[in-house]
């Protein structure tokens, strides 16, 4: 699954980084949106009966780990798309 913030917000954040404006509101807002979306995605997946959590990879803090269907069984990659 892949999702992205609105292109205007992404562009504004990227331009701020390129210009060395690391405290720019666009960067802060983009990060806040990304964290809220990650948490919303986890909530939606859990509501659908899946086991999902923030991945414990500090190099990819927005990664969502989906590993099962609530029964303790590992969820096959092709199953969950049909289940929802």
DSSP of 41-83, one letter per residue? HHHHHHHTT-EEEE-S-TT-TT-EEEEE-SSSSBPPTTHHHHH
Identify whether 2 is part of a domain. Answer: no
Distances (CA, A) of 61 to 43, 53, 54, 58, 74: 16, 11, 7, 5, 22
Q: How far apart are CA 26 and CA 14, in angstroms?
A: 9
Has residue 17 been placed in a domain? Answer: yes
β-sheet bridge partners, residue 65:
53
The better pLDDT of the pair 59, 15 is held by 15
Residue with tokens 């029964």: 71
Query: Would 36 be classed as within a structural domain?
Result: yes
Number of domains in the chain: 1
pTM attached to this predicted model: 0.73
pLDDT higher than threshold 50 for residue 80: no
For residue 75, what are the domain limits?
7-83
């Amino acid at each position: 699954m892949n999702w992205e913030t609105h292109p205007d917000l992404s562009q504004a954040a990227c331009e701020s980084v390129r210009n060395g404006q690391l405290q720019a509101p666009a960067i802060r807002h983009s990060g806040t949106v990304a964290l809220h979306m990650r948490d919303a995605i986890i909530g939606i997946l859990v509501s659908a009966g899946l086991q999902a959590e923030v991945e414990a990879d500090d190099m990819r803090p927005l990664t969502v780990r989906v590993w099962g269907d609530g029964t303790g069984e590992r969820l096959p990659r092709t199953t969950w798309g049909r289940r929802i």
